[in-house]
A = this chain, B = another copy of it.
């Protein structure tokens, strides 16, 4: 539960107010340890009855702007959000059948190419998103 305190501190340092909704949202994301959608978050135990979906939406937006979380594509119609923790990076393995999302454990092989792109193209604030799609054994 230390990650939660650290993250709240990061938020405070960025000028965000410490509200119940903020704490519960971050706690939910940290506990789940996987990307979640707005709908999932708004319906989660800690947040239902706690606050409106619009609040969760705007909170996600604010946290995204401050680079506390990141919005992911992941192929679903709904957007996914994941906590950004310094020094951590995840690639994902997603089942096209049931939608299950796992983090890939192997080291990410893309950093070198990312460097190259930074140098050659002059793009700034570069980051990447890597997803593997396939049919999981259970769905096959």
Q: Taking beta carbons and an 8 Å cutoff, which residues of A are in contact with B?
A: 71-75, 77, 79, 93, 95-96, 104, 106, 109-110, 112-114, 116-118, 121-137, 140
Contact = CB atoms under 8 A, between A and B. Distances in A.
Contacts of A126: 132-134
Nearest to A126: B134
Contact of A130 (B79, B110, B140): B110
B106 A116 contact: yes
A113 B109 contact: yes
Contact of A74 (B73, B117, B121, B134): B73
A45 B84 CA distance: 42
Nearest to A80: B73
A35 B104 CA distance: 26
A102 to B, nearest CB: 8
